[in-house]
Structures are given as C-alpha cells and as structure tokens.
Amino acid sequence: MNNLMLPLIAIGSADYIAPEHVLTRIFTDKCDVYSFGMVLIEVVSTTYKHTIFDKIIMLESSSDFSLDPFDLMNPFVDISEMLERFSVDEIIDPILRRKIAPECLAVFIDVTKRCLSREANERPNIGEVEVELELALALQEEADDRNHGGGW
C-alpha cells in the first residue's frame, strides 16, 4: 500500500476525501476506494437537483433530529452509518430504482457501503470493488434477459 503525504488542498472535492486523509494528510489506496464509494453513491442517489448530501439532510430533517449540512464534511461523521439508517428506496433515485434489478442493486449498495466504511482497513481494495461491480452488472444483464429489458 502506498502512503503519500499530500497537502489537503491537492485533493479534489472535500466531500470525497477519506476521513483518515483529513485527519492525517496521509494518502493511501484506501482513500481512493472511499472517494470511489462517494462516486458510486452519487451515481445512484442523486438527481439533477440534489446531491447525496442534500438527500441525507432532507431525510434527517424528517427524522427525530436535525443535521447541520457542515456536519457531513466532518471527518468524524460516518457516511456509511448514515446510509444504514435509511431504506434503499429512500436513497436511490426513483427513476433508476425502477430500472435496476433488486439483486443487482443489493450487490451495488453493499459494495458502496463497504467503500464508505469509516475505517480504512474495513474497506475493500479496488480489485475487490471491480469484481463486485462486475457481479452487479452480470446480475443486471441476466435479469434484463429474463424480463426482456422490463422495469422493476
């Protein structure tokens, strides 16, 4: 595993920076996995109007306590834990939800949550992520073949 000491500003969007990098400024392969997990969750959960952070804030505001938007960028906030509190139907873009086979979505969400684990050593390596996403794709293709491209 490569460890590079980089200034925090050299990395992209603050929303995608792994918590351990914010705290230590040490960059590892697992930081990339975390950032990729953020990309994965953004792909399936957002609309042209709302980011995943907007969606979490909306869901939180309808629950028992309110979340400050700036708390989401705090390295001590566990995004994967926050995602556990809501159903997949609440998180996923409703248009995509109808097009993704349930078994594909289950694999996709599982690998995404693992990528977003607060603890770097609990995240899969990027090769494992690739294998899981290939499985999700295969499951989607099988379901599409069975249903002739029908919606879910």
- Condensed to tens digits (0 to 9), the pLDDT of residues 1-20 reads 555 544 444 445 677 888 88
Taking the C-alpha atoms of residue 34 and residue 129, their distance in angstroms, rounded to an integer, is 11
Whether residue 83 has pLDDT greater than 50:
yes
User: What was the pLDDT predicted at 49?
Assistant: 65
Average pLDDT over residues 31-47: 87
Average pLDDT over residues 66-90: 63
Q: Is the dihedral angle over the CA atoms 15, 21, 25, 26 positive or is it negative?
A: negative
Q: Taking all residues of the chain, what is their mean pLDDT, rounded to a whole number?
A: 78
pTM of the model: 0.74
